[in-house]
Amino acid sequence: MNELHRWLIYPYVRLIFTLEGIEWGRDWRIYGVPIIQRHRRSQINIGDGLQLRSNIHSNPLGPNHPVIITTWQAGAVIEIGSQFGMTGGVLCSAQQIIIGNRVIVGANCTITDTDFHPLDLQMRRNQPQDAFTAPVVIEDDVFIGMNCLILKGVTIGRGSVIGAGSVVTRSIPSNVVAAGNPAKVVRLLNSGQG
């Protein structure tokens, strides 16, 4: 049933990406209709083998909402490598989010490079859009468990795993398992270990 639904909505989904100026890649599989919001003076580039799951029936964990991919400000960049997968999550860039190859993002995660609003009260009143931003980098072969929050200025090293429900506020090295709020390294992964 998922495949039938995917093919029925294919023309509409492809039109959404075209209207947002995002080049369609090879072997993309889009289940349900994602929300794409690209600032006209920003970039979204996505590699081959993309899988987005926005339909509640497309994943046993059930997305809370469609996948949302947003470049929020002029000059913002979202760069995604090949074979990226996400279920019901959010990618929101005011500056830069770079995602490597073969990255899997579990259900209902949010990845953002901005605080959205200033922490200082006077700035919030006078300049509500002037939030702090810092690039997010997720290297190749990272797996992010469901319901995680990845915040500004974070790099997640190659091959690492982020435990479900984690809040990542600081960079995580390569080949580790990190979990918690805030996320901390809980163990090392051997090279090639699954």
Q: Which of 5, 39, 57, 117 is catalytic?
A: 117
The answer, yes or no, to whether residue 136 has pLDDT greater than 90, is yes
| Predicted TM-score (pTM) above 0.85 | yes
pLDDT digits (tens, 9 = 90+) for 54-88: 988 777 777 889 999 999 899 999 999 999 999 99
Q: What is the C-alpha to C-alpha distance for residues 34 and 54, in angstroms, rounded to an integer?
A: 6
Q: What is the C-alpha to C-alpha distance for residues 6 and 23, in angstroms, rounded to an integer?
A: 19
Question: For residue 88, which of 55, 57, 122, 50 has the smallest C-alpha distance?
Answer: 55
Domains of the chain as residue ranges with CATH: 2-188 (2.160.10.10)
The answer, yes or no, to whether residue 29 has pLDDT greater than 90, is yes
Please state whether 108 falls in left (phi above 0), alpha (psi between -120 and 50) or beta.
Answer: left
Greater confidence (147 vs 3) lies with 147
Q: What is the C-alpha to C-alpha distance for residues 16 and 59, in angstroms, rounded to an integer?
A: 22
How high is the pLDDT of residue 143?
Answer: 98
Q: Is 117 a catalytic residue?
A: yes
User: Can you state the percent helix, strand and coil of the chain, rounding each to 5?
Assistant: 15, 35, 55
